[in-house]
Structure 1
Amino acid sequence: MRSSIMTLGGDQRARATGRGRGLASRLMFAQVLVLLASVLTAAVVAAFVGPPLFHQHLLEAGHAPNSPELAHIEEAYSDASLVSLGVALVIALACAAAVTWHVTGRMRAPLSALADAAREVSRGHLGARVDASGSGVEFDELGRAFNLMASRLEQTEDTRRRLLSDLAHELRTPIATLTVYCEGLRDGVTTWSADTERVITEQTQRLARLAADLDDVSRAEEGRLALDVSPTPVRDLMWSAVQARREDFAQEGVELVADDAAAARSQVEVDPRRIGQVLDNLLANALRHTPRGGSVRLSALAVGDSVEISVADTGDGIDTDQLLHVFERFYRGDSARDRQRAGSGLGLTISRAIADAHRGSLVADSDGPGQGSTFTLTLPRTPAHRP
């Protein structure tokens, strides 16, 4: 056991020593090894191949095999070869050092900038970026990849902060209401009555609905939605959505019209329960923004390989600037600031996430305030019903 521990410690020290060597020393060491191998190869070739060839040429030139001049010339050749190899090795080492210094200098600058930016990101400064160094395509690509990663991290952090802020804002109202009523009941300021029960029940249900919506939107955006996909007639989806909301529309005095004639025989590959949730959210949103005497129209249209299901209302409409934000978490237009009319602010976010999970889409359109709005859900048709 002791020897194993000692061996492990030695390996760790060796790895630490390897990490301690810089890029310049490693590159120089590699070049020296290549140069030594090259010089050694040249020396071996010169020692075993050069002298016999040189001796043969001297004999062919007319020198006697045993003459003193022949031995002296061959010795001079060997000395010249050795000196030449030595001088060449020194010059090659000097050139290798110069090239290593230049290359490592060009490489060290972008790597140091990248390391500094990475340290800044690790400290929470997500705005750190690296500039294009011009040291090569690979370094520029590495810099772009780092900047993209930092941008994504910054966006994720902004989303997290905004979500926590919005969540705290959403929780504040029901919690404050429940606290006031609990303190009133405890101090005897108010008594338990039907109104008290109704308020406490509404606020409790609101908290439960908010928790369920948060769970749904998190699972949807993380791709963890469990979908039970099957071929489903578009008419069945529309009929179920209308029946679920018909009484609410009647109580508010808003006309609800369903028109499935353009897609009567179409089927879509969806999870009926999840798409029913989307249509219910869209109808509820249209009802909240449509005054008494207005109308909401649910229609479907087969377009190529898809079916477009639209919910159009004659209500408040959406400003052009607001169209960019209607699918964000907790976003509400000005006309929905009344907490009695507004939902959790997550319905449209969940709806778009469910549409994306079905390889479809959900978009909003409006001509402006007071001109009504239209939400269009696009879903893929079943292969048998595609043109």
Structure 2
Amino acid sequence: MRGQLLVLGVGGASIAVLTVLIAPAIFHRHLLETDLPLGSPELMHIEWAHRDALLIALVAGLVVSLLVAAAVIWSLSRRLRRTLAALGDGIEALSRGRYSARVPVLGAGAELDALSHTLNEMAARLDAVEETRGRLLADLAHELRTPIATLAAHHEAMADGVLSPEGVADVLTAQTTRLARLAEDLGEVSRAEEGQVPLAPCELDVQTLLARVEEEWRERCTASGITLRLQGPTAGKLGLRADPDRLAQILDNLLGNAMRHTPRGGTVQLTARDEGGHLLLVVADDGEGFTAQEGAQLFERFYRADAARSREGSGSGIGLTISRALAEAHGGRLDAASDGPGRGATFTVSLPRVAAAR
């Protein structure tokens, strides 16, 4: 505020000095053009009157201007200090981990208001990340609890002589394998969501892809009493540029998910078609389906639509999360739809036929 007042004072003084130096000379020249004799008392009185009136007006105007400017500067400075104090409090709260804190928008200017909005958006994102982290840790603890409890119980039983090592070998191996798979899936989904999965895209033929899927899944579907149907392009050769291993991983996750949620006698269908420069891979089943609320959570880590489903046979709950991340890594997307419980589910992978992988 002192600097602003100093600038105003210097500007006002400059205007006053220039006015005192220039205005009397101009006024004197105009007086000389009148009929008054040079050096007469009347001429001198008029010039002194003009100079006094000019100085009084300048001083009064300068004082009023300084007072008004000081009031305006004080008001703006007060608002600016309030805004900066609020911003400082918000940043301090964020630094202490209070991501729910928000900065009020006080109307201190477009730039500061934009900064407040940006800070609030950052706080909201940090809050969401913290909530996701907490939920992930809780889900991970829940996933680890069952195999660890099983291993502890069987080791205690062996130590007490209730069970023999040969009798529990299969159980111990299964639980150890489950823990290893969980660790591998966690690493996979973290790399996929962070865009760190290496891709090796190449030219693929969709018909060849479908033939590979049929060869790998036909026997498993038959053993489960499920009919597998594949439908490719009706005419011509449909090509795609993608990573064959990652694309197979996406389809394996989707087909495995469809089989787990389809009862014996049901049908799982994989359809490939071209639509608007994108290849659509649609996995549809006539199984359990899901509600709209469940559909919004399907791609969350460890989420299962049926909480009562056996965890031994339902996978790690990360397959759909990995599949969506891999589809996005190819520049595409993965969506899910269902008409409701008991009416089946449809998962659609949309991939650009032109390489768009990141």
Q: Which residue of 2 aligns with 1:29?
A: 3
- Equivalent residues in 2 for 1:206-355 (5 A)? 206-262=178-234, 265-334=237-306, 337-355=309-327
Q: Report if the CA contact (8 A) 2:189-2:321 is conserved.
A: yes
Q: Which has the larger helix fraction?
A: 1
Q: Distance in 2 between matches of 1:264 and 1:221?
A: 35
How much does 1:252 deviate? 2.4
Give the TM-score normalised by the residue count of structure 1: 0.81
Distance of 2:174 and 2:286 partners within structure 1? 29
1:178 aligns with 2:155: no
Q: Percent identity?
A: 48
Does residue 88 of structure 1 match 2:61? yes
1:74 is displaced (CA, Å) by 4.2
1:170-229 Cα deviation digits (max 9, x unpaired): 011111222223333344332221x53322222222112111211222122222222222
* Match among 113, 126, 138 for residue 99 of structure 2: 126
Measured in 2, the distance between the counterparts of 1:298 and 1:62 equals 110
Displacement, 1:346? 0.3
Alpha-carbon separation, structure 2, partners of 1:33 and 1:275: 70
Give SS of 2:102's match: coil
Residue pair 1:231, 1:382 contacting (<8 A) in 2 also: no
Match of 2:165, SS state, is: coil
1:359 Cα shift? 1.9
- Within a 5 Å distance, the mapping from 1:23-172 to structure 2 comes to 25=1, 29-30=3-4, 32-67=5-40, 70-71=43-44, 73-130=46-103, 133=106, 137-172=110-145
User: TM-score, normalization: structure 2?
Assistant: 0.87
> Relative to structure 2, which stretch is displaced further, 169-178 or 143-152?
143-152
- The equivalent of 1:16 in structure 2 is none
Q: Which residue of 1 aligns with 2:163?
A: 190
Alpha-carbon displacement from aligned partner over 1:85-117 (angstroms, at most 9, x marks no partner) = 333222111111121233334445555444444
Moved more, 370-379 or 120-129: 120-129
| SS of corresponding position for 1:334 | coil
Q: 2 CA distance for matches of 1:352 and 1:59?
A: 92
Alpha-carbon displacement from aligned partner over 1:106-130 (angstroms, at most 9, x marks no partner): 4455554444444444443333334
Contact 2:289 2:344 (8 Å CA) reproduced:
yes
Query: CA 1:247/1:264 → structure 2, altered by over 3 Å: closer, same or farther?
Result: farther
Deviation (angstroms), 1:332? 0.6
1:147 CA displacement? 2.9
Gaps of 5+ in 1: 1-24
Residue 371 of structure 1 aligns to a residue whose secondary structure is coil
Letter aligned with residue 334 of structure 1: D
Q: Which amino acid aligns with 1:378?
A: S
Question: Could you tell me whether the CA contact under 8 Å between 2:204 and 2:242 is conserved in 1?
Answer: yes
Q: Report how many residues are paired.
A: 355
On the 8 A contact 1:242/1:258 being kept in 2, the answer is yes
Q: CA RMSD in A?
A: 2.7
Residues 1:204 and 2:176 aligned together: yes
